[in-house]
């Protein structure tokens, strides 16, 4: 093995370790999603469905609350009017004080099919089903649980089908589909044996890092992560999450990323400093003394 390959594999092992920080503190998906279809849909909407550039930070928490509220008033799975009720509740909640966001009919996973909206070119209608319509129409066999369905499809090797089906939902593109499937496969320990590249979302940090490690990865970052991770004996899905976490939350800039990728020792120091900072923050919160106003 060349020295260059050894360095790359050392960095990938570090990124796999860094992924534990993502899993412990950021990953939304958990075992409860398999037990309860409402919980599964809530986790999908809160943690994945709205991870699109330029989206309002209000979307995901409102969508999660909308699903729980709608589920308490009607059957999410059997009431054909539930998707419209959920959408109207989302729109009305978004209009509440201190929110100037628009509902984004075209790219909102809660927006039902054939919903009219105004666009620059004139009146339009949405052409794809909302996630709730998708669940109602396609997931009866899986007890209407989008997480259990995705897990089963991965276990059965139906990677292309589940990825394509997710992309049929309004507002869900290939990167969001891969992001969700990555965490489903990783969280539930699914051994994906084919088209593992479809479990590799590529954002700007993943793109920058893979190209810096190997310029030949340009345009094939997802495949490169799978191949090099397997050669290094690490989990591609964890490496992918670690790449994002390191770039976005530890390096934070192209300059620091460049320095870290040229020196595994420097990369390790940055991770250690980051973890030490997290511990200090946790300690500070635990030791906070109550405030007493002066008499």
The residues spanned by each domain of the chain are 3-26+193-280, 32-187
The two structure tokens encoding residue 109: 């996973």
Q: Distance (Å, rounded) from C-alpha 198 to C-alpha 12?
A: 19
pLDDT band at 220 (very low <50, low <70, confident <90, very high): very high
Residue 253 has pLDDT above 90, yes or no: yes
pLDDT at 288: 66
Q: What is the pLDDT of residues 178-212, one digit of tens each?
A: 999 999 999 999 999 999 999 999 999 999 999 99
What is the radius of gyration, based on Cα positions, of the chain?
A: 21
Judged against a pLDDT cut of 70, whether residue 153 lies above it is answered with yes
CA 96, 99, 102, 103 torsion: positive or negative? negative
Compute how many other C-beta atoms are within 10 angstroms of the C-beta atom of residue 119.
10
Q: CB count, 10 Å around CB of 154?
A: 23
pLDDT at 293 over 90: no
**According to the model, what pLDDT value does residue 65 have?**
97
**In this predicted structure, what is the pLDDT of residue 54?**
83
State the pLDDT at residue 287: 78
């Amino acid at each position: 093995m060349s020295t260059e390959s050894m360095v790359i594999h050392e960095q990938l092992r570090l990124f796999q370790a860094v992924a534990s920080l993502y899993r412990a503190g950021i990953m939304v998906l958990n075992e409860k999603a398999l037990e309860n279809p409402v919980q599964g849909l809530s986790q999908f909407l809160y943690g994945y469905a709205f991870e699109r550039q330029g989206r309002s930070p209000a979307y995901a928490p409102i969508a999660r609350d909308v699903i729980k509220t709608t589920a308490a008033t009607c059957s999410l799975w059997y009431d054909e009017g539930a998707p419209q009720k959920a959408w109207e509740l989302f729109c009305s909640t978004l209009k509440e004080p201190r929110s100037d966001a628009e509902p984004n009919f075209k790219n909102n996973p809660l927006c039902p099919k054939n919903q009219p909206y105004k666009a620059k070119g004139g009146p339009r209608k949405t052409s794809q089903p909302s996630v709730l319509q998708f669940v109602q129409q396609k997931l009866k066999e899986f007890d209407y649980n989008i997480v259990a369905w995705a897990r089963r499809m991965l276990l059965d090797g139906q990677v292309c089908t589940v990825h394509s089906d997710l992309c049929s939902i309004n507002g869900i593109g290939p990167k969001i589909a891969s992001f969700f499937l990555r965490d489903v496969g990783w969280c539930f320990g699914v051994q994906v044996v084919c088209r593992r590249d479809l479990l590799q979302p590529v954002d700007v940090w993943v793109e920058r890092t893979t190209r810096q490690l190997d310029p030949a990865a340009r345009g094939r970052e997802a495949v490169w992560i799978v191949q090099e991770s397997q050669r290094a004996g690490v989990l591609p899905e964890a490496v992918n999450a670690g790449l994002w976490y390191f770039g976005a939350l530890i390096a934070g800039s192209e300059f620091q990323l460049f320095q870290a990728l040229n020196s595994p020792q420097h990369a390790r120091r940055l991770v250690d400093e980051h973890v030490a900072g997290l511990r200090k923050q946790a300690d500070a919160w635990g030791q906070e003394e109550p405030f007493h106003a002066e008499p």
